[in-house]
Chains A and B, each alone.
Chain A
Amino acid sequence: MMNQGGITETLAPPGTNSLEDRHVVDARHGQPSSYSSSTAGSEASSWTPHSVNNSFTGNGYSASSTYGFEQQAQPPRRDDMNSATEASSLSLGSTSVPQDYNGYMTYQNPTNSYGYGTTGYTGYYSGYQQQTNQSYSQPAGAYQSTNSPYQPLSSFQNTGSYAVPPSYSNSYYGPGDYQTAGTYPNSTYGTQTTWNDGNYTNYSSYQYSNYPSTSSAYSSGNSATAPAQYQPQYKQWTGYYAQSEVSCAPGMENLSVASSSNPECPTPGVPDGTQASNSQPPPTAVPSWRPEPGLSGLPSQQPSVVASTGHDNYWKQHAAPGFQNYNSAAPGFQNHNSAAPGFQNHNSAAPGFQNHNSAAPGFQNHNNAAGQSAFYQPMESKNAYGSYSDEQKSTSDQGPNLQYPVVHQVPQVHQAPQQISSTLDPRRGIKLQIQTNPRIVSNLALGLTKTDKAGSGTTAAAKPAYIGVSLPKPNDKALSSDASDPALKPATFPKSLRGYVERALARCKGDAQIAASQAVLKELITSATADGTLYTQDWDAKPLFPLPDMDGLSNTFQSPLPLPTLRRSPGRRTKSRWEPLPEEKLVNKTLPLTTEPVKYGGYMNDRNRKPFVGNLESKDGLNTPNFLAMEQKTTSFQKPFKRQRLSDSLTTADNGDASSDSDKESSLTAFYSGAIGFSNTPEERKKRESRSKRFEKAHGNRVEISHFKPKSAGSANLYARRATAIVLSKTFEESGSKAVEDIDWDALTVRGTCQEIEKRYLRLTSAPDPATVRPEEVLEKALTMVQNSQKNYLYKCDQLKSIRQDLTVQRIRNKLTVKVYETHARLALEVGDLPEYNQCQSQLKTLYAEGIEGCHMEFAAYNLLCVILHSNNYRDLLSSMSRLSNDAKNDKAVKHALAVRRAVTSGNYVMFFGLYRTAPNLNSCLMDLFADKMRYKAVNCMCRSYRPTVPVSYVAKVLGFAYASSVNGGSDEKDSVGLEESVDWLKAHGACLVADNNGEMQVDTKASSSSLYIPEPGDAVAHGDSSLAVNDFLTRAPS
């Protein structure tokens, strides 16, 4: 997906379309973890391989090899896909290198956005920051500072998290890994190390991040897992750093080990990571982050979305500073550099990647390949998530390795695409411009990221993911901003500055404020750097700038920036998340491109800025993945259910895309709708989806086109489209209703010709066929047949339903209809099938109201009894009583029902069971349903009023046990049966029974008064309706 996204971006308009599609697909893929299997076969296949690789990755090499394979296999696909965006999305995993790059880029961006949007992102950020700091020694300070703020924000981030990470990692990777840390590099990491060290580190970080995300997703909210992931990432970063710092070989190994160890053994890994981290890790980490989000439940979606926006951002970032950084990075960089060429190679030729993958020596190549895969990774990771998580749990080593490779690949890919695609990507140009306006860019980027998040987040939050697709341009901007960011290298920031940043951010109360503060900070730092006071200024003493006015921003940010808020205060975050964002406002806001993206971008940028100034780009890329993972984690924590739902829907949508154009459209629209209402709850989004789908059906093609075009136009187009969709749907409805009124029903009414008396009921799914519909005469015979049938209720019910159906389709409403419904209602009452009875009763109500004769009074009594017995609402009872006519009040059945009502409301159990004995018609069947309650109340009352005892025989008589048994026959025997029954019942309800001198059973009222209880219904069914339990039902049904 990512690849696709990236491709689309590079490709431009078509690209966007494809990106969106891809995104969708990805998201779906990721969520299901079915990536491999899910969606298009090609995609699925490619994904699966990736996942496999990932799983194998435990063995870094094997993973790489698998990647290579996948890539190889995919490359062609990707090419195809490039041509066809869908294909590209699918191919992402396998995608050819260039595509991969693109995809990666886009992915990264999206991931960034995702990460930002979600809390998980923040966590990622922190991780990134730390990593970046470590890896990027220059920005390190800034990063750290950023990290620190982030950490505070998210529980995950609690740097403690780093330390914690070990524990996490332990869980994920297994403590063994940590311990082995030293050895790690050799064993599991060894593979990674063999790869480019830097790359490895990156990979590791990525993997970690992936793991965490996956873990989070899988574990569904295990916060611990999330931190673990973060930690791993950090470690990885550190590892990267170390690698970069150290020459490739040993350093790399160590680093890789460290990274791996970090995830597993947090403490050791952390220190290592920090030390090493200075170098390059951040970039790699970023890719990993991206994949992670993808990996997490939503991952697939996210990647896709990410691909669109996130990729762009990543690309930009990576391309501009990130790439440079990577290149510059000594050992790691060397690797990177090699990778870069590799990327180029990759870009140019997918096979190169494949070679890399296949060839161990080409660790760098692998990296590249990995990068490619990484691009895909999001997708892969998603696919692999399941496997990853599993693997991680079972074999932590492998898991991480795999992930790492992916991560590495991602960064590389990003880089390569950026470089390669420079001409291709309009974004680059934008980026340059954006660089001039870092804030704006950052905002844009944030917006993009947000959108990406939304897209990717679809799994988690789902809202923004859709948006992301449509917001390619913002991504570009974001990228540019990122690029500008690189100018500021957080790593180089003095500690005091970091502290300053922390302080500045710590007082922020909302995402919007954070974002704004970050913008201000960025400016401050930039200016300080420009006039050389960055290191000379006493940041500790410098007063904090006034909090920026967030009015507009806050709105935009709220929904997109769940992560930051989460870190700070989960409650708030959730709040903001669900708060509906004023779309219009967003547009109005400064964000020029897409409002939504802008919002998101703001967050992204802010975060990026804070933590990562200089390295930001690469870091951002890395961060984004982390963020994504974070988001996923957080989301999973908070609302795993929703997520699942979203992911499900996404997956289905993906499938749809793969399968047909219309499906694509629908999925696209779904995305759009999501984009439109970022802040909407999933339910609302779903509603919108379905609404827009409706619209699409009619105007699908047009809509699709418009969706794609808007890239630059962004949200505005979306709105416009939405508006048109609404208008169209309205017109449809109107025309539809008109048509309905104009229809000549008589002409259309079926006249049955079937002569069969017996007919099974089958719910119609199409217009009725006269050949299978029975005319009225036959139906009359059928009714007689049913009435005289000796078969059980299920058969009769089935037959009656088919008779009802035939009556309905022929629009027969006469005495026969009433008779059929009455017959069915009585049968249903006899067996206690209340749902069916209620259906008949409501039909009878309208039939009687039409003046058709029947047993009106009998059913009026039933109706009254139903209200008495099943409604504890006084008003219902009063209104149904006041509706009774005088005639009705004189009817025997209705009188009886009214008497029952009186007995029930006064609690007069003697009267109730007396009435039970004399019940006309089937009134007793309805009273049955209330008898137990009445008995319980009665026994309660007796235990309170009688002293010292009350004979069970009296209880049996008064509470209808004897009556019930006497129905069956003999006199004495029946009485004794009733007695036994009442003894059983009393015992079941906790009554205290004693035998008196004559051997007669007595209820000890005083002892019983405190021991009575209502037993759990023995026939309770899981679905809550015991009448639906077939076995039980059959036994109850008289045969």
Chain B
Amino acid sequence: MAAYLSMGEAHRRITDYLGRFSDAVSSQDVASLKHILSLSSNSASLLSLADALNLLQDANRLIKQSDRFSQFAEIVAPLFRCIQNYRLGNLVDAYPAYEKAANAFIQEFRNWDSAWALEALYVIAYEIRVLAERADRELSANGKSPEKLKAAGSFLMKVFGVLAGKGPKRVGALYVTCQLFKVYFKLGTVHLCRSVIRSIETARIFDFEEFPQRDKVTYMYYTGRLEVYNENFTAADQKLSYALAHCNPHSEANIRMILKYLIPVKLSIGILPTDWLLEKYNLVEYRNIVQALKRGDLRLLRSALEAHEDRFLRSGVYLVLEKLELQVYQRLLKKIYIIQKQKDPSKAHQMKLEVIIKALRWLGIDMDLDEVECIVAILIHKNLVKGYFAHKSKVVVLSKQDPFPKLMGKPVNA
């Protein structure tokens, strides 16, 4: 089709696009502006424009022809270059052009008193991240070092700076923050999140609840993940639960992502999910872990961890799950205690180390006396077992009152 494109038609398409752009700005029509800027939508109008641009090389002349267009030359000219390269599949060149256009746009945006173009800015923030990710993929495929996403990160930081002040534009700050989170998590530079979080959370002038719902959910999701990294399970639970409670119930993929982190966090504070939940959101990798916790089956826990080690390592919950081992030990001891109680209630609170070793051996886990003694010591130390250990007689003396305290939503204390 492009081959048959006449010069006149190309000219018309470009002028039409310019006209739409300038109309959108002058009439503050966000919807069409969004459409114009949305590169990844692959809309027909953008594609045909790209063809026209490839045919008509001096689009800049058209921009400069009219005052109406030339005032946006700094935005539109690089945008045209970007569209051209995008159409040709040259993302590495498309990215810098888009960044340039975006830069010019935020300059304009800064000058607009109202926040009417916020939606368009969202589109830009999104496009620049996606474009950078794709460009990086292209770069690393060519054996070059991917650097565009990093550049997008610093550009988004700039956008954040434009929005983070007072006034109506502040509402948009959280969206950009979330885009930044995505960039940083992808780059593995999550420590850079700290400054953004600080400026969001310390701002007294703006109540967090005033941000758009979707941004709040995304923000809570990422900050919750950060708390998981920090082993701060209480905060992680709170943030991820917020995200889950406010997430659109129809976007199951998002709910699954939240649950992926929320379940290990809940497990570590002693709250187990139902099978139904795991199945509904296809989180079956946790099923055996939950079973192990219920049964005190150390072997099952270890095999479950081993089976999904890669997945857990990548999502970053491996160490959280590994720590569940102590709870499994607790459960095991509790079972022994219950059995002993059935046999001889008067001696139930005295648990011989030998019995524990036997139980472990029955699970196929061979541990020597010192090791089990150590585990018991740790259990008592962490307050998962109430009582004391008598070294001389190798007996765990359990408290007669609530020897196996439940976590009750609190993390195992260090």
Contact = CB atoms under 8 A, between A and B. Distances in A.
A878 B316 contact: yes
A84 interface: no
A950 B313 CA distance: 39
A1031 to B, nearest CB: 38
B380 A944 contact: yes
B319 A947 contact: no
B322 A945 contact: no
B388 A879 contact: no
A882 B381 contact: no
A723 interface: no
Contacts, number: 74
Most buried by A among B231, B325, B391: B391
A946 B377 contact: yes
Contacts of B316: 874-875, 878
Given A879-B188, A908-B371, A910-B371, A945 B388 contact: yes
B381 A944 contact: yes
A908 B391 contact: no
Interface in B355-414: 370-371, 373-381, 388-391, 397
A816 interface: no
Contacts of A875: 188, 190, 229, 316
Interface in A877-908: 877-879, 881-882, 902, 905-908
A710 B389 CA distance: 85
A942 B373 CA distance: 10
A1007 to B, nearest CB: 14
A945 B326 contact: no
B250 interface: no
Nearest to B314: A882
B377 A905 contact: no
B318 interface: yes
B310 A882 contact: yes
Contacts of B378: 906-908, 941, 945
Contacts of A902: 322
B371 A949 contact: no
Interface in A919-962: 940-942, 944-947, 949-951, 954, 957-958
A947 B370 contact: no
B319 A905 contact: yes
A908 B375 contact: yes
A909 interface: yes
B158 interface: no
B321 to A, nearest CB: 12
B323 interface: yes
Nearest to B374: A910
Given A874-B229, A874-B230, A950-B391, A910 B323 contact: no
A946 B391 contact: yes
B374 A882 contact: no
A905 B389 contact: no
A906 B326 contact: yes
Contacts of B310: 882
B374 A958 contact: yes
A724 B98 CA distance: 30
Contacts of B313: 878, 881-882
A878 B320 CA distance: 11
Contacts of A954: 391
Contact of A878 (B318, B326, B381, B391): B318
A911 interface: yes
Contacts of A942: 377
A954 B326 CA distance: 23
A946 B319 CA distance: 28
Given A878-B316, A946-B388, A905 B376 contact: no
A905 B319 CA distance: 8
B390 A945 contact: no
B380 A910 contact: no
Chain B facing A: main interface SS: helix
Chain A facing B: main interface SS: helix
B28 to A, nearest CB: 30
A940 B378 CA distance: 10
Given A881-B313, A882-B310, A946 B374 contact: no
Given A875-B229, A911-B371, A950-B391, A945 B318 contact: no
A374 B376 CA distance: 83
B371 A874 contact: no
Contacts of B325: 906
A945 B389 CA distance: 6
Interface string B318-342: 1100110110000000000000000
B319 A878 contact: yes
A500 to B, nearest CB: 38
Nearest to B315: A878
Given A878-B319, A905-B319, A945 B377 contact: yes
B374 A874 contact: no
A877 B323 CA distance: 15
A216 B315 CA distance: 59
Nearest to A912: B374
Most buried by B among A874, A945, A946: A945
B332 to A, nearest CB: 15
Contacts of A945: 376-381, 388-389
A569 B380 CA distance: 57
Given A910-B370, A942-B377, A874 B322 contact: no
A960 B325 CA distance: 25
Contacts of A878: 313, 316, 318-319
Contacts of A941: 377-378, 381
Contacts of B319: 874, 877-878, 905
Contacts of B190: 875
Given A878-B319, A881-B318, A902-B322, A908 B374 contact: yes
A103 to B, nearest CB: 48
Nearest to A874: B229
Contacts of B390: 946-947
B231 A874 contact: yes
A217 to B, nearest CB: 38
A905 B373 CA distance: 18
Contacts of A958: 370, 374
B391 A949 contact: yes
Most buried by B among A910, A911, A941, A950: A910
Interface string B172-210: 000000000000000010100000000000000000000
Contact of B389 (A879, A881, A946): A946
Contact of A951 (B314, B381, B391): B391
Contacts of B188: 875, 879
Interface string A672-714: 0000000000000000000000000000000000000000000
B413 to A, nearest CB: 11
11 contacts: A874-B230, A874-B231, A905-B319, A908-B371, A910-B370, A944-B380, A945-B388, A947-B388, A947-B389, A951-B391, A958-B374
List 8 A-B pairs, minimum CB-CB distance, nearest first: A945-B380, A947-B388, A910-B374, A882-B313, A945-B377, A941-B381, A944-B381, A910-B370
Interface of A: 874-875, 877-879, 881-882, 902, 905-911, 914, 940-942, 944-947, 949-951, 954, 957-958
Given A877-B319, A878-B313, A908-B371, 13 more contacts: A874-B231, A878-B318, A878-B319, A906-B326, A907-B378, A910-B373, A910-B374, A911-B371, A914-B371, A945-B377, A945-B381, A947-B389, A957-B370
